[in-house]
Amino acid sequence: MLKVNQLSKKFKENVIFSQVSFAVEPGQLVHISGENGSGKSTLFKVITGLLAPDAGSTTIDSGDVIGALIENPGFLEYETAMTNLKFLADLSHDFNRTRIMELMQQFELDPNNRQAVSKYSVGMRQKLGIIQAVMENQNIVLLDEPTRGLDSDSVAQFIVLLHNLVQANKSVVVASHDHVEGLNYDHAFVLKDGYLQDE
């Protein structure tokens, strides 16, 4: 379970968000909407520990593992997709080739493609970013603008993936400036003027 308690963040005098609180139970799908620059990515960075909050805290249960896709995904640009995914999975000693191949095939990425990731399109990179966020069975999944650059078939696959994650009792938070048709959220928030409100 993910609990966000009164999180605040500012850069110098620029307040990004204040007193943001929400919780995501296992098996819940939550949406955070907001215009570009509203602070969604920064919120995810604070939740994942990439940035320190000015106030507040984030708590997860013992044994919970966070997976996240935040902003434009960066990779080992001159390595293959599989090498990149193995590089990341090896960190947690949880490289499961079979699962990764299934995820890649689900998103119509060829696991045996020897092309460097630098040659990938925006959509292909996005798919790879989504895969790395879930491939180690992370049970809290944060996805920032996950459908950016995806074609309609890939969006459909993404929706199937999210349904599977929720059914597998994962906590999923999607942040995007628009709504993805076909997704039913348990909670929907909007981040506006630095405050998180019910939509």
Residue 61 near another protein by CB under 8 A: no
Give the number of other Cβ atoms within 10 Å of residue 151's Cβ: 12
d(CA 40, CA 135): 23
Tell me the backbone φ, ψ of residue 164, rounded to 5 degrees.
Answer: -65, -40
Residue 34 φ/ψ region, left for φ over 0, alpha for ψ in the -120 to 50 degree band, beta for the rest: left
Provide, rounded to whole angstroms, the least separation between the CB of residue 63 and another protein.
13
Instruction: Return the range that interacts with another protein (CB under 8 A); candidates 7-15, 47-55, 160-168, 180-188.
Output: 47-55
Residue 39 near another protein by CB under 8 A: no
Provide, rounded to whole angstroms, the least separation between the CB of residue 128 and another protein.
10
Question: Can you list the alpha helix ranges (DSSP code H) found in the chain?
Answer: 40-48, 81-91, 97-106, 122-134, 152-167
Sign of the dihedral through C-alpha 176, 179, 184, 189: positive
Interface pattern 74-113 for another protein (x via CB under 8 A): xxxxxx----x--xx-xxx---------------------
Provide, rounded to whole angstroms, the least separation between the CB of residue 19 and another protein.
24
- The residue within the footprint of another protein, chosen from 39, 53, 67, 146 (CB under 8 A), is 67
Residues making contact with another protein (CB under 8 A): 48-50, 66-68, 70-71, 73-79, 84, 87-88, 90-92, 116, 129, 132
